[in-house]
Amino acid sequence: MIQRIQSVYLFLALLALGALFSRLPLIKPIDIATADSLNEGFFIAQEILFGLSALLTFAGIFLYANRKRQMVVVKLAIVLTVFGLIAFGVEYFVLNGKLGAANLKLDPFALIGTVALILQVMGNRGIAADEKLVRSADRLR
């Protein structure tokens, strides 16, 4: 059912992932001379992971007719978001080792990834609760 609370959670997660995707890269070297391509691989990985996660979250909103498939799609989106956040953390520590913390500018917008992950998990819990409710109603018949 599209009006359920999990659809709202997934929509908010989609907005958060879209906003996060628009602000990539989240870590920028302060000195322009050292910004040649230190984090190019991590940037591409984050683009792919967060983009696919947003796409799967969008698809999960409209799979309300098949809750089992919806749970699988949302769980895959959660895994991709986790991998994107891990790539962000690894990028930070690699650049911190190469340049030092004083030469890095961390975008405070990076916390939005964690918010998106929490919203995706809450949406998945709502889908599971609906599935449990439907199963218990089927048992009563």
54/3 Cα distance (integer angstroms): 20
pLDDT digits (tens, 9 = 90+) for 112-131: 999 999 999 999 999 999 88
pLDDT digits (tens, 9 = 90+) for 17-36: 998 888 777 777 666 555 55
Structure tokens at 113: 């990834």
DSSP helix/strand/coil, 27: strand
34/3: higher pLDDT: 3
- Count: domains in the chain: 1
pLDDT digits (tens, 9 = 90+) for 36-53: 555 677 788 888 999 999
**What's this model's pTM, rounded to 2 decimal places?**
0.86
pLDDT digits (tens, 9 = 90+) for 50-86: 999 999 999 999 998 898 999 999 999 999 999 999 9
Instruction: Write out the residue range of the structural domain in which residue 89 sits.
Output: 5-140
8/29: higher pLDDT: 8
> With 50 as the cut, is the pLDDT of residue 1 above it?
no
